[in-house]
Structure 1
Amino acid sequence: MYIASVVLAVIIGTVATLARPTPQARPVSKTISLERRGGHTRHAANLDHLIANLDRVAFKMHRTLDNYEDNTGSPFPGQKTASQRKRDLIEKRSSMIHKRAPATHGLELQDIADGMWWAGNVSVGTPPQTFEVDFDTGSSDFWVTGKDCLRCQTPLKYDPHSSTTAVDASRNFTIRYGDGTSYSGPVWRDTVSIGNLVAEHQAVGAVDNTSPMDDSAAADNIWSLMGMAWPSLSRSGNSTFMNTLSSGNDIPTSQFSFSLDDDSAELFIGGVNPNKYQGEFIYVNTAQDFWRVHTGGLSLNGRSLNMTGAGEAIIDTGSTATLGPSTVVRELYSQIPGAKNLSEVNQTYDSFSGWYAVPCEFSDTVSFIFGGVTFDIAPEDFIELGQVSTNSTYCIGGIIAKDDLPSEYVLYVLIILLQTHNLPGTLT
C-alpha cells in the first residue's frame, strides 16, 4: 500500500519547479553543506569507478530485497524469493566485473570520487566521535568504522567503550556487496547527532571486519554510511536515524531533502531549504521500502518513448548514473543523432553491454515524467559521466541499460524532498 509522498525537484542537475509545503510552526533552520568538486568540466570518465559503483548499486538493491523479506515475511512485491534470487545471482556473479526542541538542520556534503558518494559529518557517542558519512537513499542501515577494523584505511574509528551512552545490542550485522566486498561487526545503541539534531539509542553498526577492497575504493576512504530509505529494508532491522527523529518529534516535519548542485550541496533535515528551489512542488506517491515512485517514463525532445507495463523509479543518491530497462534505453539512443554502443567508439569496452556513447556536443533534451509533469535533464548533465577516453569527441550517456533491478529505473536525483504523512513510527 502506498502511504507516503515524495516530492521531486531536480533530476540529474536540471532545475524544476516545485510546490512550497505547508508551513511548520517555528522551525529552526540550519544548513548542512555538500561540496561538489567535479562540476561540468570536460574530463575522461573513470570507467573502473563507474562499473564498480553500478555493480554495487545493483547488488545493494538485491541485498535490501532480502532485508525486506526478512522483516516482513514476504518477498518484495513482484520479485522472486530470496533463495531464488540468490541462485540467480550466483549464476551471474561469475560473469560480473538527547531529544531537543523541534529543529531543522542543513548538513554540508562533500562530493567523493566524482559524485559516487555524497558525504557529511555525523557524530556518534558521548563525548562525540565524528565521522565522514555517505548518505544513501537506496539503503536503510547506519554503520561506521569500528576501532578493531584493521583493513579500514581511516583514522576515524568508533570506540563504543569511550562513549558513556553506548549500549551493546548483543548482536552482529553483515552486509555483502556484489563486487565481493563485505562489512561486518557488532551493533551498538548510542547517541547519534547531525548538527543540532540528536537521536538517542540509535542503532549503530561498528564495522570491525571487511573483505579486501580494491585500491581505488580504499583510496576514497568511505568507511561509514547512513541509509535514508525505509526501515523495511534495514539489514539490522532497526529504526533509521530519520525514523528515530520523526518518532520523537525532534523535527518539525518528517521530511528531508538533498540539493546536490555543483556549488553548495547539502542535506536538509526537517523540511526543505527555501533558498534551494523556486515555483511549485509536484507530489507523487511512494512505497515504504525504497523511495519507489511511479513514472510516466522517458521522453526525448518532447517525444515519449514506448514503455511496457507500469513504470517505476527508485530514487537513489547512491547511484552514479540512471539505470533503465534495456528496451527503453535502446530506443532512446536509437533516436539520438550519432549515438553508438560504447564498444563501437572504443573496442576496449566490447563487453560493456547496455552502455552507450553520444557526441560530446550533445544538445538534445532527455526528460522523465512524474505526476504528469515533465522534468528535463540538461544536456551537460546527461554527459556528466565524462568522455569515453581522453580527448575523445564521444561522451558516455547518462542512462545505462540494466534489467535485473527491482524497479524500471534507478534515478540519481540532485534536488529531492521526501516526506511521509504523520504516521507513528514511519520513516521520512
Structure 2
Amino acid sequence: MRYSASRSGAALLLALPLLAGAVPLSGMNIPIPAGTTIPLNRRASFLLDDGSVNIPALARHLNFAAAKFQRGFNAFERNTGAAHPLAFLEDLFGLARRGAGGVALADQGEMLWTGKIALGTPPQEFTMDFDTGSSDLFVPAAGCGGSAGCGGRAEYDAGKSTSGRDLGRNFTLRYGDGSTVKGKQYAESVAIAGLSAANQTIGAADTYSAGFTSGMDGLVGLGFKSISVYNAPPLLDTLVAQGAVDAPVFGFKLAQEGSELFIGGTNKTLYAGEPTYVDVTHEGYWQVEMDQLAVNGTQAVGKTAAIIDSGTTLLVGNEQDVANFYKNVTGAKPVDGQQGLWSVPCDAVPQVSLTFGGKKVDIRPETFTLGPVSMGSSDCLAGIASTTSMCASFWIIGDVFMQNVYTIFDKGESRVGFADLA
C-alpha cells in the first residue's frame, strides 16, 4: 500500500529536546515539520579488549537476526493470509546456533546504532535500537529487572503514565537459541525528537531472557505493518497518520561519528547529488532487487533479492553465493569452528561493491572488516557471511553496506534510495 502524504512545507531541521515531544502536535496551530533528526550513537562494536573480534557474540547477533526474519515471515502470513515469497527459508542462519553457548553475556559488545525516545505522560526515557528489519516497538516493563536479561535497562511503568492503556493482549518474541522477550501490549504516547504519536501500540516486556544481550533498552521497528507481530501500525505510520511528519520517509547515516536517523524526509546536508531509487518488490521488509555484488571488479553474484536491514551488521547470503564471492579473494578462508564466517588478510582487504538500480556503492576496507579473528592474527573477520539453509540466492544487506551510503526508506512511494555521502 502506498501513502498519499503531502510533500509540502519548507525544509526544517528540528533540534528540539526529546521531551518537548511529550506535548501532542494534533490541534496545535503550528506548521507540520518536513522532518526531524534523531542523533544516533554507536554503542559498541564486536571487539574484545584485546582488539580481536568476539566471534561468539557475532554469532549470537546473527542468531537474533535469523529469528527476527522468521518471526516476520510468520507474522506476514498471519496478517495477510498469504505466505511471504521468501518464507520457505526456514532457519535462515545455520551458523547462528554455533558457538553461542557459554558466552559471558555481560562482555558481548554488539554494533548498535541507538537513539532516544520517551514513552508515556509524564515521559519515561529509553535508549532504542532503530531497526528496518522489523515493525514493532518494545521496551522492558516495570519489574522486568528480575529477569536475567533486564538488568541495567530502563523500564516502562504503565502505572505511572496517564496516557497508557492496557490493550489486553500479550506478545512473545522467540529467538533461535530458545530465548524470549514477552509481555503485554499497550497503547501509549511516544515522543521522539520533538514529535509525538498518540495511542501507538508498544510492547512492555516482563521477560528479557538471558539470551537477549543487545546493549539497549528496547527496539523500534521501521518496517511495514504486514510483518508486525502485533498486527499494528509501526511508529512511522502513526506519526504520518496523525500529521506529526509531512512524509512517510526516513533516512539513515551510519558512521563512526555523526550518525543520525532523519524522520519525515531526508537530511540533504548529509548526501551529495540525487539519490538513486529502487522499488520495493514485496512490502513487508525493505526488499529490493540487487543488480550485482562484485569483488575486485569481478561480478561474484548477479541479480538477486535483497533486504536492507539496519538491524544486521554483516552482509549475509547463501553458501553458494558467498563461496562464489570468496573464490575471487586471495587469502580468504573460513573461520575455524564457525561455519559461515570468513576471514581475509588484514593487509589485503578486497575491493567490494554492491549495485542497486545501476548505482555502484563501494565498501570501504575499514567497514568491510570487523577486526582480527584473534589477538595478534594477520587475518581479519570479513563482512560477508554465509548461511547453511537458504535455498535460493537472497541477501540480507546490513550495516557493512549502510556505513558507505546515505540510505532513504520511502513508504509513500514504496522504494529505497541510495545517495553518496557528502
Same fold (TM over 0.5): yes
Which residue of structure 2 aligns with residue 386 of structure 1? 371
Query: Per-residue deviation at 1:265?
Result: 0.8
Which residue of structure 2 aligns with residue 411 of structure 1? 397
SS of the equivalent of 1:179 reads: coil
SS of the equivalent of 1:68 reads: helix
| Alignment match of 1:264 (pick from 258, 263, 284) | 258
CA spacing shift, 1:322–1:371, aligned 2, 3 Å: same
Contact 1:326 1:402 in 2 (8 A): yes
Query: Per-residue deviation at 1:221?
Result: 4.1
| Alignment match of 2:411 (pick from 396, 416, 420) | 420
Which residue of structure 1 aligns with residue 277 of structure 2? 283
Query: Per-residue deviation at 1:391?
Result: 1.2
Alignment of 1:393-404 (within 5 A): 393-404=378-389
Residues in 2 aligned to 1:354 and 1:422: alpha-carbon distance in whole angstroms: 36
Contact 1:136 1:226 in 2 (8 A): yes
Deviations 1:167-213 (A, max 9, x none): 11111111111122101111110110102111100011100123333
| Alignment match of 1:244 (pick from 238, 247, 253) | 238
Query: Per-residue deviation at 1:403?
Result: 4.7
Which residue of structure 1 aligns with residue 331 of structure 2? 338
Residues in 2 aligned to 1:366 and 1:396: alpha-carbon distance in whole angstroms: 15
CA spacing shift, 1:92–1:324, aligned 2, 3 Å: closer
Query: Per-residue deviation at 1:3?
Result: 5.8
Which residue of structure 1 aligns with residue 166 of structure 2? 168
SS of the equivalent of 1:280 reads: strand
Provide structure 1 residue ranges, at least 5 long, that are not aligned to the other structure. 5-21, 98-111, 344-348
Which residue of structure 1 aligns with residue 23 of structure 2? none
Query: Per-residue deviation at 1:125?
Result: 0.4
Query: Per-residue deviation at 1:330?
Result: 0.8
**Letter of the 2:183 counterpart:** G
Which residue of structure 2 aligns with residue 54 of structure 1? 62
SS of the equivalent of 2:70 reads: helix
Query: Per-residue deviation at 1:78?
Result: 4.2
Q: State the identity %.
A: 33
Contact 2:288 2:307 in 1 (8 A): yes
CA spacing shift, 1:422–1:391, aligned 2, 3 Å: closer
| Alignment match of 2:187 (pick from 175, 186, 189) | 189
SS of the equivalent of 1:25 reads: coil
SS of the equivalent of 2:162 reads: coil
CA spacing shift, 1:27–1:94, aligned 2, 3 Å: closer
SS of the equivalent of 1:57 reads: helix
Query: Per-residue deviation at 1:115?
Result: 5.3
The yes-or-no answer on 1:26 pairing with 2:21 is no
Query: Per-residue deviation at 1:36?
Result: 3.2
Number of equivalenced pairs:
374
Residues in 1 aligned to 2:10 and 2:131: alpha-carbon distance in whole angstroms: 29
Query: Per-residue deviation at 1:39?
Result: 8.6
Residues in 2 aligned to 1:116 and 1:264: alpha-carbon distance in whole angstroms: 15
SS of the equivalent of 1:178 reads: coil
Residues in 2 aligned to 1:43 and 1:134: alpha-carbon distance in whole angstroms: 24
SS of the equivalent of 2:273 reads: coil
Q: CA RMSD in A?
A: 3.0
Residues in 2 aligned to 1:371 and 1:319: alpha-carbon distance in whole angstroms: 22
**Letter of the 1:272 counterpart:** T
Contact 1:40 1:381 in 2 (8 A): no
**Letter of the 2:73 counterpart:** L
CA spacing shift, 1:427–1:365, aligned 2, 3 Å: closer
Which residue of structure 2 aligns with residue 319 of structure 1? 312
Residues in 1 aligned to 2:129 and 2:223: alpha-carbon distance in whole angstroms: 13
The yes-or-no answer on 1:139 pairing with 2:134 is yes
Contact 1:143 1:225 in 2 (8 A): yes
Contact 1:3 1:285 in 2 (8 A): no
Alignment of 1:75-90 (within 5 A): 75-80=83-88, 85=90
SS of the equivalent of 1:281 reads: strand
Residues in 1 aligned to 2:255 and 2:96: alpha-carbon distance in whole angstroms: 35
Residues in 1 aligned to 2:233 and 2:44: alpha-carbon distance in whole angstroms: 34
Query: Per-residue deviation at 1:49?
Result: 1.1
**Letter of the 1:233 counterpart:** I
Residues in 2 aligned to 1:407 and 1:178: alpha-carbon distance in whole angstroms: 22
Contact 1:231 1:427 in 2 (8 A): no
Larger relative contact order (Cα-Cα within 8 Å, sequence gap ≥ 6): 1
Which residue of structure 2 aligns with residue 374 of structure 1? 360
The yes-or-no answer on 1:120 pairing with 2:105 is no
Residues in 2 aligned to 1:38 and 1:59: alpha-carbon distance in whole angstroms: 22
Which stretch shifts more, 223-232 or 37-46?
Answer: 37-46
SS of the equivalent of 2:371 reads: coil
Residues in 2 aligned to 1:139 and 1:353: alpha-carbon distance in whole angstroms: 26
| Alignment match of 2:209 (pick from 208, 211, 219) | 211
Residues in 2 aligned to 1:66 and 1:40: alpha-carbon distance in whole angstroms: 30
The yes-or-no answer on 1:66 pairing with 2:108 is no
Query: Per-residue deviation at 1:236?
Result: 0.8
TM-score scaled by length of structure 2: 0.81
**Letter of the 1:181 counterpart:** S
Query: Per-residue deviation at 1:27?
Result: 3.5
**Letter of the 2:135 counterpart:** S
The yes-or-no answer on 1:297 pairing with 2:295 is no
Residues in 1 aligned to 2:295 and 2:96: alpha-carbon distance in whole angstroms: 34
Provide structure 2 residue ranges, at least 5 long, that are not aligned to the other structure. 15-36, 101-106, 418-422
Which residue of structure 1 aligns with residue 247 of structure 2? 253
SS of the equivalent of 1:335 reads: coil
